[in-house]
Amino acid sequence: MPNSAGRLNNSGLKLKRDTFRTKFGFIWACVGSAVGIGTVWMFPYRLGQHGGAVFLIEYIIFTVLLGLPGVIGEMAFGRAMKSGPIGAFAGATKMKFNYSFGKFLGVIPALGALCIAIGYSVVVGWIIRFLASSISGELLQRKDKVALFANISGDFGNVVSHLVGFLIIFFIMIFGISNGIEKLNKILMPLFFILFMILAIKAAVLPGSFRGYTYLFDFDFAEFLEPQNWIYALGQAFFSLSLAGSGTLIYGSYLKDDEDIIYCAKNVALFDVLAGVIAALAIIPAMFSFGLESQAGPSLLFVAMPQVFAGMPFGRFFEIIFFTAILFAAVTSIINLFEVPIEGLQANLKLPRSLAVTIVIATSALISLFIENGETVGKWMDIVSIYVIPLGTLLAGVMFFWVCGSDFAIENINKGARKKLNSRWFILLSKYVFIIGTLIIFVCGLFFKIS
């Protein structure tokens, strides 16, 4: 078996870098990157619209067959190369072709992460504004929720809250991985689950909520024959695990060599599925209790749910819990996305972290102010998620499993693992099933705009 350590040294990649201090800190950070507002405003809707229990089963199948190999591969690739996508791709082509042209391909997932973060920051600003309005009582008193959201999501309609979001992100990221990102996720992600479980319990005791459970978990075997359901389940598993050739890879690059990647990846997948199910149990029964139709996207968070809380006993209290939990999910996701370009500047331009953070956050804040309009940011996010993100995932998979090679991949995946993976079946699953599944997602995005 080739000496992977020697290959890494030959690539010239930086070996000394900040690391996650604990296994569970790393797991919570990866869960935080995966569990974002997309989990909250899309999974419950798709669960109900595409077969209920059938969709959940299909989603779990794809999470195991595609999600786990993808997460394991990106974690191991980042740790093996001790770098984000630019350095990791450069190291892969250096190993195979003795030329680090892969760094140019690595720019694709790095830019994808930056662009998604810029768009995401607009939504974070909306969440902060709605949380502040919930605390003050303004949101509960406003009758026309649609008009309120239309005003906030217009051109330059939410500048103050938007910039407050960037300040929060700046002060988290300036402290680095172990003192900033790890500590934050160890606090916020457990709180996210606790807060949403409180909301799910409240939803369960609302009159008429049982219809929401029927809608979510009605089992119709005929739905298994619907190709569209399988496509949406594939897309949900793909995107909900934060597979992009960037975020999971960058967190893996800060993982110590003696940590068990296989164990960590299994926990990330488990908590991601649980987050989606708990969000569905908190939102859909409550909406049915108040006679509202199932919705997805911003209208769910900023129009439908405030209407639910307005008619609910102790609505202001539960409204504050809801937007606090949403903010936790959004912040833990966006710091993962911003870490990719920040690390890229540090590693490739040899900048101190403080300067790299300042450049990325300041530039992103300036750009994002000009896409505050809800329609504009929606188109921005669609372009990146449909075209750039699947391509980044595909490139990372090809680089690790094909360019670096099977022996290198298995060696680095099993490093530190208590239970080693069977190399034959896992390589077949990763090199073919995962890569083909990623190609399907890419093609569906190109031709059917599915993301």
| HEC letters along 232-263 | HHHHHHHHHCCCCCCHHHHHHHCCCCCCCHHH
pLDDT, residue 328, reads 93
Portion of the chain with pLDDT greater than 70, in percent: 95
Q: For the residues 327-347, what does the mean pLDDT come to?
A: 93
- Can you tell me the distance from the alpha carbon of 11 to that of 7, in angstroms, rounded to the nearest whole number? 6
pLDDT, residue 94, reads 94
Q: For the residues 403-407, what does the mean pLDDT come to?
A: 93
Q: Helix and strand tally (H, E) in the chain?
A: 24, 0
Q: For the residues 346-352, what does the mean pLDDT come to?
A: 91
Farthest CA pair distance, the chain: 68
Question: Is 218 or 84 the better-scoring residue by pLDDT?
Answer: 84
Closest by CA to 34, choosing from 334, 387, 235, is 334
The burial of 222, by beta-carbon neighbours within 10 Å (0-12 exposed, 13-18 middle, 19 or more buried), is given as exposed
* pLDDT tens per residue, range 22-52: 888 989 998 888 888 878 888 888 887 777 8
Examine the pLDDT at 303 and tell me if it is beyond 90. no
Q: For the residues 184-196, what does the mean pLDDT come to?
A: 92
User: What's the pLDDT band for 378 if we cut at 50, 70, 90?
Assistant: confident
Classify 181 in phi/psi space as left (phi over 0), alpha (psi -120 to 50) or beta: alpha
Examine the pLDDT at 449 and tell me if it is beyond 70. no
Structure tokens at 152: 């906030």
Query: Contact, 289 vs 264, CB < 8 A?
Result: no
| pTM, 2 dp | 0.88
CA angle centred on 445, ends 225 and 249, rounded to 5°: 105
Closest by CA to 46, choosing from 197, 290, 199, 235, is 235
Examine the pLDDT at 10 and tell me if it is beyond 50. no
User: What's the pLDDT band for 438 if we cut at 50, 70, 90?
Assistant: confident
Examine the pLDDT at 165 and tell me if it is beyond 90. yes
pLDDT, residue 71, reads 93
User: What's the pLDDT band for 1 if we cut at 50, 70, 90?
Assistant: very low
- Can you tell me the distance from the alpha carbon of 268 to that of 29, in angstroms, rounded to the nearest whole number? 9
CA angle centred on 247, ends 244 and 250, rounded to 5°: 125
pLDDT, residue 402, reads 95
Examine the pLDDT at 332 and tell me if it is beyond 70. yes
- Can you tell me the distance from the alpha carbon of 74 to that of 182, in angstroms, rounded to the nearest whole number? 19
Q: Which of helix, strand or coil describes residue 83?
A: coil
